[in-house]
Chains A and B, each alone.
Chain A
Amino acid sequence: MSEKMGNFEVQPGKKTAFFTDSTTCIGCKACEVACKEWNGLEADGYNFSGFSYDNTVGLGASTWRHVKFVEDTPIPGLGGNSPDHNSWEFSSDVCKHCEVAGCLEACPTGALVRTEFGGVFLQPDICNGCAYCVISCPFGVVQKNEEDGRAFKCTFCTDRQKVGLEPACAKACPTQSIQFGVLETMEEKAADRLAVLQDRGMADAQIYNPTHTSVKGIHALFLIRGEPETYNLPPNPEVPTIYLRDGWKSAARDGFLLLAGVAAAFMAARSGRKDGIHV
């Protein structure tokens, strides 16, 4: 068997990334299905959410790709994807594989690691299910599977990348809405696509990549129309490690207060006893 099975170069040490273009997404959910197929994830059941055609609702322990159906108030007689009316959009969500990842920083067992492709990988054979990563992700991606006991999230198809294959979701996408490749190339592609769309008068198009916060950028770029809030993307996601300094400072202050308090109280009580005070 040949070393390389895929049709493009994946070099270890070179960061790879997704570029998800919501303007070419048709909401077919092929990525959701492909992800579940390749990774052997369980089905989500037959729940009806009532939120447009989105019955998946969010990413979770068994849902690593999620197609959002962004439906705003319909404007009768108009609608469609006219540049003036933001009425219906689709966007495939995924783990952001942050440059500085909250889950990775928080993991106490070393189960979460940074791969040679720059992605964040959760090793299921190490995870002991402490669930601290779940509350440390500013994007609400990681979730503990209560039945299994461990936490799960998108693997970035590290197994496929290792043999030169693109992730299952990108491969299954019929409209190239999900593209995959070297991070810099994807950033260029995103910028080019944005320029094309803005040229066509789509003034509300923008690239979501929070490089301005402690997350320092993501490895899953999104081209969206309108505000990120509409897509459940936080405008200013922060890695929780930024609170470490304040937290430990408070702990140190309180620790010394305990030490000084206990020492002072027992010494004062002893000298009081000697002086005959018995309160």
Chain B
Amino acid sequence: MSETQMLIEQLVDQREEHLLEIRREAELTGQVKSPGVRPEGSPFPIASPQTGYYQQPLLKEPQWTQLIPFYFFVGGAAGSLGVIGSLADVLGDEKRLAEQARWLAFGGSVLSGALLVTDLGRSSRFLNMLRVFKPQSTMSMGSWILSGFSVFASISSAADAMDALWGANLLSHLLRGMGRFGSVIFGMPFHNYTGVLLATTAMPVWNARANSLPGHFGMSGLQSGVSILELMGHEDNRALNLLGVLSASMETWEKIDISKSNARALLPLKHGGSGVLVSTGAWLSGPVPLLFRIGSVFLPERSVALRRLAACAGIVGSLFTRYGWVQAGKSSARDWRLALEIEAPKEVAMPTTAKRSTGRVIAKAAGAICVLATAFFVLRRKF
């Protein structure tokens, strides 16, 4: 017998022996677990009270385009500017600031409408929104609030345009009064209803904050409105700084309140991509502008630079906040355990990255160094 033939026989014997082993295991235990018997991808996904239906999410993710979070930003700013523009001249004697705020509010309302209509699946049917008035639908209320605000913001701006063209007259005076009243009445809900819009849905992370999300979005809107005015040359206006301090304080409070909560539904606000967006937004709309604004009071010679920094942080922070929250809603819908009320294992319920991890510590340190370095640079230089 040649060497090759012997080798072949050995191999055959081994294989036969292995087959017998499998047979013995099958006889004894009723199933075979040796490697090679298990197909790729096993163990198979299952449907059970612990795993839900193959871990498939029940809820559908929001299907809005990226225009919607931007609309939240524009609408929030425009609504706040409508109120500021209607009151700053009568109560604060700030004629130029008020008129600029009114023009911005008007432009914002037009842009808001355009963004919303573009996002619709059938844009040509946007007027269908106005065929019903439905208090139980926040989307319906929002359509009416936006429409109302647009009308009165246009009236205000029409009065301003008439003044500029033909000088103040009775008609422009009358129109301005109307616009002023309507812009305040509709500006209040317009600057924060988008928070209600998110809160009154089935997305767990949104409805879990129903009693604070509208306030959060409202203050974010005020912050961005004030910041835009400051960057337009009103960085020495004291009233705007007061409003900036108010909104930054409220945003700081909201940030603390969210981080204090251990609710599992809020995990997308702290973890993953949406978590990065939301927490960056929270820092930039809360503590950072608050620090700069208070600093600007105590350092009069650097006040303008600090106010500009606060304004930039506020605008970027507000944008991050809106995009972060919408993204968090998507993550929330994907979390199959939440809607089925299945308790999560510890490592899923509170991932290490949500609490503290090296990456997070480094990111926070880097952020703090950036802020401090910018402040140092600004304080050293003359503007």
Which chain A residue lies CB-closest to B98? A266
> In chain A between 96 and 121, which residues have their CB closer than 8 angstroms to a CB of chain B?
102, 105-111
Q: Which residues in window 290-336 of B have CB below 8 A to A?
A: 297, 300, 303, 329, 333
Instruction: Check A247/B196 contact, CB under 8 A, given A50-B41, A108-B139, A267-B91.
Output: yes
**What residues of chain B lie closer than 8 Å to A278, measured between beta carbons?**
236, 238
Given A73-B48, A250-B212, A270-B91, A240–B201 Cβ distance below 8 Å?
yes
Query: How many residues of chain A are within 8 Å of chain B by beta carbon?
Result: 91
B89-126, CB under 8 A of A: which get 1 and which 0? 00111100000000000000000000000011111011
Within 8 A of A (CB), among B223-278: 236-243, 246, 250
Q: Are A267 and B92 in contact (CB under 8 A)?
A: yes
With contacts A251-B196, A259-B188 taken as known, whether A265 is within 8 angstroms of B243 at the C-beta atoms is yes
B213 within 8 A of A: yes
Minimal Cβ-Cβ distance residue in B for A250? B214
Chain A 67-94 per-residue mask, 1 if CB under 8 angstroms from chain B, else 0: 0111111001100000000000000000
Tell me the bound Cα distance from A273 to B125 in angstroms: 51
Q: Are B215 and A229 in contact (CB under 8 A)?
A: no
Stretch from A7-15, A23-31, A125-133, A179-187 forming part of the interface with B:
A125-133
In the A-B complex, the 10 residue pairs with the closest CB atoms: A129-B121, A266-B92, A149-B121, A255-B188, A232-B53, A128-B125, A269-B239, A254-B218, A108-B140, A247-B196
**A251 with B202: in contact, given A72-B46, A150-B122, A234-B58 (CB under 8 Å)?**
no
Name the CB-closest residue of B to A151: B121
Stretch at the interface among B128-136, B154-162, B353-361: B128-136
- The answer to the question of B279 belonging to the interface, with a C-beta cut-off of 8 Å to chain A, is no
Tell me the bound Cα distance from A18 to B257 in angstroms: 45
* Residues in B whose Cβ lies below 8 Å from that of A141: 60
Residue of B nearest to A234 (CB): B339
Interface residues of B in 163-216 (CB under 8 A from A): 184, 187-189, 191-193, 195-197, 199-203, 207, 210-215
B280 within 8 A of A: no
Measured between beta carbons, the chain A residues less than 8 angstroms from B197 are: 132
Q: Which residues of A contact B128 (CB under 8 A)?
A: 109-111, 126-128
Q: Are B195 and A251 in contact (CB under 8 A)?
A: yes
Q: Which residue of B lies closest to A125 (CB)?
A: B125
Chain B 14-49: CB-based contact to A (< 8 A → 1; otherwise 0): 000000000000000011000000000100111111
A57 B56 Cβ-Cβ under 8 A: yes
Contact A279 B300 (CB under 8 A): yes
Instruction: Tell me, yes or no, whether A248 is within 8 Å of chain B by CB.
Output: yes
Q: Are A230 and B49 closer than 8 Å at their CB atoms?
A: yes
A141 to B189, CA, bound (A): 31
Closest chain A residue to B86 by CB distance? A262
A50 shortest CB reach to chain B, Å: 7
Do A135 and B30 have beta carbons less than 8 Å apart? no
Contact of A232 among B52, B196, B210, B239 (CB under 8 A): B52
Q: Which residue of chain B is the closest to A144 with respect to CB atoms?
A: B63
| Contacting residue for A146 out of B63, B123, B193, B339, CB 8 A | B63
Q: Which residues of A contact B137 (CB under 8 A)?
A: 105-108, 132
Instruction: Answer whether residue A138 sits at the interface, using C-beta atoms and an 8 A cutoff.
Output: yes
Q: Residues of B with Cβ closer than 8 Å to A? A: 30-31, 41, 44-49, 52-54, 56-64, 80, 83-84, 87-88, 91-94, 119-123, 125-126, 128-129, 131-132, 134, 136-140, 142-143, 184, 187-189, 191-193, 195-197, 199-203, 207, 210-215, 218-219, 222, 236-243, 246, 250, 297, 300, 303, 329, 333, 339-342
Q: Mark A232-261, 1 if CB is under 8 A from B, else 0.
A: 101110101101101111110111111101
Are B58 and A247 touching (Cβ within 8 A)?
Answer: no
Q: Within the assembled complex, what's the spacing in Å between the Cα atoms of A132 and B134?
A: 14
How many Å lie between the Cα of A202 and that of B199 in the bound state?
41
Residues of the B chain whose Cβ atoms lie less than 8 Å from the Cβ of A142 = 60
A138 and B202: CB pair below 8 A?
yes
A254–B212 CA distance with the chains assembled, in angstroms: 9
Tell me, rounded to whole Å, the shortest Cβ–Cβ distance linking B360 to chain A: 30
Given contacts A130-B139, A149-B121, A279-B297, contact A265 B195 (CB under 8 A): no
The answer on a CB contact under 8 Å between B53 and A231 is yes
CA distance A136 to B300 in the complex (A): 51
**Chain A residues, Cβ within 8 Å of B214:** 247-248, 250-251, 254
In the complex, A105 Cα to B135 Cα: how many Å? 9
Task: List, sorted by A's number, 24 A–B pairs whose CB atoms are closer than 8 Å.
Answer: A50-B44, A54-B54, A57-B56, A72-B47, A106-B139, A108-B142, A108-B143, A127-B122, A128-B125, A131-B62, A140-B59, A140-B333, A142-B60, A143-B60, A227-B49, A228-B340, A229-B53, A229-B340, A232-B56, A244-B196, A254-B219, A265-B243, A266-B91, A279-B303
